[in-house]
Structure 1
Amino acid sequence: MRAVQYAEYGPSSVLSIVDVPPPHAGRGQIRIAVRASSVSPGEVKQRSGAMREVLPAVFPVRTGYEAAGVVDEVGEGVSDVNVGDGVFGTTSSERGANADHAVLAVWTPRPATWTWEEAAGATGAVETSFRVLDRLAVTRGDTVLVQGAAGGTGTVAVQIAVERGATVIGTASEHNHDFLRSLGAKPTTYGPGLVERVRSLAPSGVNAVFDCAGGALPDLVAIAGDPARVVTVADLDAATHGVHLSIASAGTTLGPGDPPAVYGLPIAVELAAQGRLRIPLAGTFPLAEIVAAHTLSETGHARGKISLLH
């Protein structure tokens, strides 16, 4: 089967499509014939070498954490899914979702309202959004700032915070402001003057800040008034500013990691079925164009998720 991998750190050109034996579902796992998979900014940073001190690679590295497809193998101990079911989910730590077949460790039935490519990019954004919004205890009546609101995670975080009854302010380039309004957020630009712009939009203050972009923690702490009210998923300098870096893992050199919020997936499916949660797509590429997909992610201006069609 086809699979994407890289054997060294570097630009997107280090990626290649190789022919490998198909994987098989182990206990508590399922295998899917992949219809679509996704490209995440975090994995793009890992491939570049920017995170080698935090998450060192063991080469060669198979790429892809998220995929959607049709179940074709069910592992021992699995009783909630059958061969032929359409699902979306994430792999184990071995990755490998950018391939013709992928083994999933976490999965949920695909809602009919999402295409395969939308479902492929949903799991990580949904899990991250629930994990961070719950850590910040965001609820009705709160005012939340989402930094990097037009990205793959930010677009989902905005919608879930709005569903909870929060007022949401989202930062993005000006050409994305109408898009953020369509998701229910009050848009503003990032960069110099952010503190003043947010205060003009939220004169009573901001209860919580969800940083999906990185690079602005001093301003975000000033907006929240307390570093404990800021959580980042993108800034590796978080500890320097007293801010929590949320990583859903068993731990890295930066800390112990947070428990994955997989409980959010069935909630997201219910919202999607009601037409109240969508997964915006910045671009869709054939698997063979994996280099172009990573290149788009590297621009930092992708509006929504990037998916690969198989």
Structure 2
Amino acid sequence: MKAISYSGYGGPDVLEYGELPDPKVGPDQVLVKVRAAAVNPVDWKCREGYLAPILDAVFPVIPGWDVSGVVVQPGASVTEFAVGDEVIGYVREDFLSRGTFAEYVAAPVRTLARKPLRLSFEEAAGLPLAGLTAYQVLRALEIGEGDTVLVNAAAGGVGSIAVQLAKNAGARVIGTASERNHGHVRSLGAEPVAYGEGLADRIRTLAPDGVDAAFDTIGGETLKVSADVLGPGGRLASIADAEVTSLGGRYVFVRPDAADLHTLGVLADEGVITVHVDRTFPLEQAAEAYRLNAEGRTRGKIVVTVDWDRPAVS
């Protein structure tokens, strides 16, 4: 199969496009013919070795955890999916090797759900990691009716879904974003505030008594601002900076969960969640997609698409 891979840690230049063996399908896996795979910041962090302390790499590594595609072969024990089923997945294992930037991926059934009918394959590929992250963080923050919630990077992949989920839960949402994305953030249902010096004061202008919960996606100074604008009893969570625990908050690392992913798919089909695809690239141009993602200025998701001319393996 054609795939993107890297044989050692490094920048985008270590990514290679070429032939690799078709994946073997374990008893609890299904072989998915990939239609699209979304790029996430964690992908380039893995490639550069930042996650080496917690995730071993078995080289060559095929990057990517997000996928949308079609089942072409169920494993021996699989009853959940059949040939022809359209699926989405957050295909993360506890090591790096068998990712989604390829024509095929052998995906554990615990990482999959049926693709929302309302979303295109490109949009659906952008839902799993970002959607699960937003969903699991908002659950940890116990977001509900009447809460005022701060979502950082509200125009990004995770932030944009977090805004929509929080609004659906009955919360008021304040979202940080660059000024060029303020219209987009408003369209999602949040009140936008600009990044930069004076951010805390701008948030306090909108929420003089502080926010009930803050969702940090950036870390560093942004995490400190998020903690500073909490009201009495406010809740704090971060996906970017483990220092959040020293501020009384929770650090959340998203985990695959088929039930949560199914729920997100239902919400997408109900129109509660939309996924904005900023740019698409063919598989052979994945390195350029990574470079763009690493700039951190994406509105929504960057997605890599896979040519379907090659016949399915049998």
Q: Does 1:171 align with 2:139?
A: no
| Counterparts of 1:195 and 1:84, CA distance in 2 | 50
Q: Aligned partners of 2:29 and 2:142: how far apart in 1? A: 32
- 1:289 lines up with 2:285 in the alignment: yes
Q: Which amino acid aligns with 2:236?
A: V
CA contact (8 A) 1:131 1:261 kept: no
**Distance in 2 of aligned mates of 1:64 and 1:289:** 14
Contact 2:165 2:272 in 1 (8 A): no
Once the two structures are TM-superposed, the CA of residue 292 in structure 1 deviates from its matched residue by 0.5
Matched residue, 1:97: 100
d(CA) in 2 for partners of 1:95 and 1:156? 27
Identify the residue that residue 38 of structure 2 maps to in structure 1.
38
Q: Report the counterpart of residue 137 of structure 2 in structure 1.
A: 132
RMSD value over aligned CA atoms?
1.9
Cα deviation for residue 55 of structure 1 reads: 4.0
Q: Is residue 2:249 matched to residue 1:243?
A: yes
Q: Decide whether the 8 Å contact of 1:228 with 1:244 is kept in 2.
A: no
Structure 1: stretches of 5+ with no match in the other structure: 250-259
Distance 1:14 1:29 in 2: 29
Moved more, 148-157 or 176-185: 148-157
Alpha-carbon distance in 2 for matches of 1:18, 1:99: 10
Kept after mapping to 1: 8 A contact 2:128/2:261: yes
Q: 1:230 aligns with which of 236, 245, 259?
A: 236
Please say which of residues 115-124 and 203-212 is displaced more in the overlay.
203-212
The corresponding residue for 2:270 is 274
Take 1:211 and 1:95, find their aligned partners in 2: how far apart are those partners? 29
Secondary structure at 1:83 match in 2: coil
Q: How does 1:48-63 map to 2 (within 5 A)?
A: 48-55=48-55, 57-63=57-63
Give the Cα separation in 1 of the matches to 2:56 and 2:84.
Answer: 37
Aligned to 1:114: 119
Secondary structure of 1:25's aligned partner: coil
Whether the 8 Å contact between 1:7 and 1:14 is mirrored in structure 2 is yes
* Contact 2:31/2:104 (8 A) holds in 1: yes
The answer for the alignment partner of 1:256 in structure 2 is: none
Pick from 200, 204, 208 the counterpart of residue 209 of structure 2: 204
Partner of 1:252: none
CA distance in 2, matches of 1:231, 1:262: 23
Q: Give the letter aligned to residue 71 of structure 1.
A: V
Query: What amino acid is aligned across from residue 6 of structure 1 in structure 2?
Result: Y
Amino acid at match of 1:234: A
Higher strand share: 2
1:145 maps onto 2:150 in alignment: yes
Report whether the alignment pairs 1:220 with 2:200. Answer: no
Is the CA contact (8 Å cut-off) linking 1:138 and 1:208 kept in structure 2?
yes
Deviations 1:243-283 (A, max 9, x none): 3221135xxxxxxxxxx554322222222212221111121
Structure 1 residues 226 and 213, CA gap change in structure 2 (3 angstroms):
farther
Secondary structure at the aligned position of 1:198 is classed as helix
Q: Secondary structure at the match of 2:83?
A: coil
One-letter amino acid of the structure 1 residue matched with residue 10 of structure 2: G
Match of 1:26 in 2: 26
| Residues 145/10 of structure 1: CA separation in 2 closer, same or farther (3 Å cut) | same
| Contact 2:123–2:275 (8 Å) recurs in 1 | yes
Partner letter of residue 72 of structure 1? Answer: V
Q: What whole-Å deviation, never above 9, does each CA across 1:50-108 have from its counterpart, x for those lacking one?
A: 44445454433220111111100111322222101111112241441110001222111
> How far is the alpha carbon of 1:110 from its aligned partner?
1.2
Q: Distance in 2 between matches of 1:231 and 1:55?
A: 22
Identity %: 40
Q: What TM-score comes out, normalization by structure 2 length?
A: 0.90
